[in-house]
Amino acid sequence: MAIAGVSWYEYGQLTDGVTQSDALDVSSKNAPPKLDNSINILLIGLDSRKANDGSDLPGWFVQDELHAGSSSDVGGYNTNSLIMLHIPADPNQKVEAVSVPRDDYVETYNGDGTEQGMHKIKEAYGLAKAKAMPGLEAQGLKGAALEQASRDVGRAATLTTVQKFLNVHIDHFAEVNLIGFYDVAKAIGPVTVCLNHATSDPAMEGQGSGANFHAGLNVLQTPAQALSFVRQRHNLTNTDGNGNGGDFARTHRQQAYITSAETQLKKNGMLSDLGKLQGLIDTVKKDVVIDNRWNLLDFAQQAPNLSGGKVTFNTLPITGQPNVYIPGEGTQSVNTVSVGQVQRTVAYLFRDAPSSSSSSSSSSSTPKAGSSSQAAAHAVVDVLNGGAKPGSAGTELDALVSDGYTRGHTGNHAAVGATKVYYGAGAESAAGQIAGKLSTQATASAAIAAGTVEVVLGPDFTSPSSGSGSGSGSGSGVGASPSSTPHLVFQGSAVNGGGDGIPCVD
């Protein structure tokens, strides 16, 4: 009884003052069924320049620190960042996270499941909040109480819209606005990130982020720098491999910052020390909103497993970016999507596969790499198409799985001149074997998750034929039988923590 009392006191101290929302209770009535014991968490980044009580932030702070214009009305209540995190019940399996592009043009819903119409997915929150305001005011609500009640309506709309779009049951959610991210970054402290190219984005009225970073490792010393890093979408030279930059590049920045921040928290011991965790939560509790079902103490015990390359971030695919007329909003550029493709992609990524512990292990006395009789060294293998014929990535991954490697995912990659093989920490043996099969060389990369091999197929790749083994530009080797694995397409390459937990992005 004494132990239970102390534990309850510690949990009470930890969570006291954290803003909780019952929006999940509303949206759960229209949620897809929960299929297993995994946990799906929706992370909501709200582009609001207001505090949680609805009060305006000081203009100088919005302009000079947040680099977000000079008015608290800029940005409205758009959910400019939506990330679904899937934590498998088996702690040995990788955590998958998908970002939903903010301008995806989809059917949006109110929390009760009624349709709002076709809108950008980011607008579901603000539309529902605005519609609910008159009724809530008629009930006598005002000030902070009115703001929180109307935001709960917006949250429920976002949860319902995302659940229906992805066909995924949401177990928990966390919402943070701009000032909330600022405070989170301040509490975490300096975070090291990595860029492939130098970049600059001077702050302008409501536009530039104030970013100014060099190629390679950058230490984000201040929360203002962290915010500039995750908000930049102008003056970027990269694309996602499909000719798109801007918003998608910013999404990859957000994924990279989360990965690096998780690693930093683990290094600081903050995720395993209740006292340090208390200090972090005390700093951010006024800005972060979570659902009323979330036991933070339980989650804190799981959190250390989310770093060190165990989380893979992908950005869900779009099919085009046309201009469309939206009633009441005018003509706007949107992201068109294939709902079926998105749902198949998420269903495959979020499946709870059997434990990979039974996969073949490496041997120091095996035949040379590329031999069909060689036992497959343990590694998760991702195959991306960087210029081969359509469908090649899926075919090659099937062949490698038949050889004994653990199935990862397929997708698209920026064009390459020839097939390449990259590997993360601990996957050198498997990478050497696979590179031998494909008549190429294996290269270590800090951007690849530990225990993972990434194969990028170039125009020299020839699809394998029947039998075992995989193919190369020379046509040597043969392929696997057909598989139910969908051909996965993403907006750009995956973002992985890798061995040091610091992925390099553009």
H or E stretch covering 53: none
What amino acid is encoded at 495 in this protein? V
Q: 251-267: buried (b, 16+ CB within 10 Å) or exposed (e) per residue?
A: bbbbbbbbbbbbbbbbe
Find, among 149, 131, 185, the residue nearest to 289 by Cα: 149
For residues 361 and 429, give the distance between their C-alpha atoms in angstroms, rounded to a whole number. 10
The angle at the Cα of 374, spanning 368 to 379, to the nearest 5 degrees, equals 100
All structural domains of the chain: 18-185+271-349 (3.40.630.190), 357-505 (no CATH)
The confidence score (pLDDT) of residue 155 equals: 97
The predicted model scores a pTM of 0.71
Q: Any residues with CB less than 8 A from the CB of 406 and at least 6 apart, and which?
A: 356, 359, 378, 379, 380, 381
Residue 147 near residue 53 (C-beta atoms within 8 A): yes
Q: What is the pLDDT of residues 371-411, one digit of tens each?
A: 344 577 888 899 999 888 888 888 888 888 878 888 888 88
The confidence score (pLDDT) of residue 314 equals: 92
Residue 393 near residue 463 (C-beta atoms within 8 A): no
For residues 61 and 68, give the distance between their C-alpha atoms in angstroms, rounded to a whole number. 9
For residue 422 the two structure tokens come to 């990259």
H or E stretch covering 376: none
Low-confidence spans in the chain with pLDDT less than 70: 1-16, 59-60, 63-75, 203-210, 235-245, 271-272, 274, 296-309, 352-374, 463-487, 497-501
Neighbours of 277 (CB within 10 A): 19
H or E stretch covering 229: helix 223-231
β-strand partners of 85: 41, 97
Q: Any residues with CB less than 8 A from the CB of 212 and at least 6 apart, and which?
A: 199, 200, 201, 228
Between the two ends of the chain, the Cα-to-Cα distance in Å is: 54
Find, among 165, 20, 154, the residue nearest to 98 by Cα: 165
The confidence score (pLDDT) of residue 364 equals: 33
Residue 267 near residue 325 (C-beta atoms within 8 A): no
Find, among 158, 173, 19, 147, the residue nearest to 79 by Cα: 158
The confidence score (pLDDT) of residue 469 equals: 43
Residue 458 near residue 387 (C-beta atoms within 8 A): yes
For residues 317 and 140, give the distance between their C-alpha atoms in angstroms, rounded to a whole number. 44
The confidence score (pLDDT) of residue 4 equals: 56
The confidence score (pLDDT) of residue 477 equals: 31
For residues 217 and 213, give the distance between their C-alpha atoms in angstroms, rounded to a whole number. 9
The confidence score (pLDDT) of residue 3 equals: 52
For residues 281 and 276, give the distance between their C-alpha atoms in angstroms, rounded to a whole number. 9
The confidence score (pLDDT) of residue 118 equals: 93
H or E stretch covering 24: helix 23-27
For residues 410 and 483, give the distance between their C-alpha atoms in angstroms, rounded to a whole number. 13
Query: What 3-state class would DSSP assign to 42?
Result: strand
For residues 141 and 145, give the distance between their C-alpha atoms in angstroms, rounded to a whole number. 6
